[in-house]
């Protein structure tokens, strides 16, 4: 798999004009080809004279340089690329299947958190049936953290929210540390609160898509991403099918032609 992944990476580097790729063919291939053409393809009796044999040899060497060697290079690289594409899409299928069939978290109210620094952390509180109960923005990484912590506690208790889902994007670790500290101090007592981190790949793209606008017309796109993050844990299959596969961020299929993905079975 490593060689096939490298093949796709090399192809991409070449297409971006960052790399120059050259296939090295052993000299014996040229020697064997020339010898076969002179000794077998054209009978020695027909071209017995040395000057005629020299003409044939020069023609064969020229054809090898201009035609045969480029053909061998293209054929070899095409073979490597096709094998790499098939393996990459197969890996994508395996990873996507695992992602879609993750066991959902049922029967509890969830807070989806799209972390951020400057523009704050976007929150979306979802009912056990994925209905939007509340959306908000808190600034956990600026001054006034205690005020924001009190706000979180009020929301958690008001909606009996016991699960926090944090997106793994910018400010993820800082946001995780903030919630972990509050939970360790039992700040949300009497609720037994826990948290997890999930991939937010494709959430921002989905939040500005026509599908998201139709589903959540009254929400700001930034808040839609928090809703998507929370729903990915509540029902991964129902949420991830809304997103273009190339934006989910699994496998090496991102560097392949879309027509190859559509035609692969």
pTM of structure: 0.71
- The torsion angle over the Cα atoms of residues 129, 113, 210 and 118, rounded to 10 degrees, is 160
Q: Which of 127, 140, 132, 232 is nearest to 177 (CA)?
A: 140
Tens of pLDDT, residues 139-172: 998 888 899 999 999 999 999 999 999 999 889 9
Give 45's pLDDT tier (boundaries 50, 70, 90).
Answer: low
Query: Two tokens at 125?
Result: 């509180």
Kindly report the CA angle at 208 between 202 and 214, in degrees rounded to 5? 115
DSSP string of 59-87, one letter each residue:
HHHHHIIIIIHHHHHHHHHHHHHHHHHHH
Domains parsed from the chain with CATH numbers: 2-100 (no CATH), 109-234 (3.30.420.140)
Tens of pLDDT, residues 101-140: 888 888 899 999 999 998 899 999 999 999 999 999 999 9
């Amino acid at each position: 798999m490593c060689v096939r992944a490298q093949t796709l990476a090399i192809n991409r580097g070449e297409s971006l004009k960052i790399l120059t790729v050259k296939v090295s063919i052993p000299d014996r291939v040229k020697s064997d080809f020339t010898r076969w053409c002179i000794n077998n393809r054209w009978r020695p009796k027909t071209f017995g004279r040395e000057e005629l044999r020299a003409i044939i040899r020069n023609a064969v060497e020229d054809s090898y340089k201009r035609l045969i060697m480029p053909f061998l290079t293209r054929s070899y690289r095409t073979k490597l690329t096709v094998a790499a594409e098939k393996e990459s899409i197969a890996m994508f299928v395996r990873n996507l299947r695992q992602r879609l069939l993750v066991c959902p978290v049922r029967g509890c109210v969830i807070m989806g958190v799209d972390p951020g620094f400057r523009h704050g952390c976007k929150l979306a509180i979802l009912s056990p049936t994925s209905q939007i109960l509340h959306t908000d923005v808190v600034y956990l990484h600026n001054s006034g953290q205690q005020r924001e912590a009190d706000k979180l506690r009020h929301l958690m208790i008001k909606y009996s929210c016991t699960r926090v889902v944090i997106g793994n994007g910018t400010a993820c670790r800082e946001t995780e540390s903030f919630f972990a500290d509050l939970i360790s101090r039992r700040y949300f007592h009497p609720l037994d609160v826990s948290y997890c981190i999930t991939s937010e790949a494709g959430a921002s793209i989905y939040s500005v898509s026509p599908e998201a606008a139709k589903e959540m017309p009254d929400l700001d796109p930034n808040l839609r991403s928090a809703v998507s993050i929370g729903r990915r844990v509540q029902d991964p299959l129902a949420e991830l099918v809304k997103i273009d596969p190339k934006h989910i961020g699994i496998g090496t299929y991102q560097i392949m032609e879309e027509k190859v993905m559509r035609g692969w079975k």
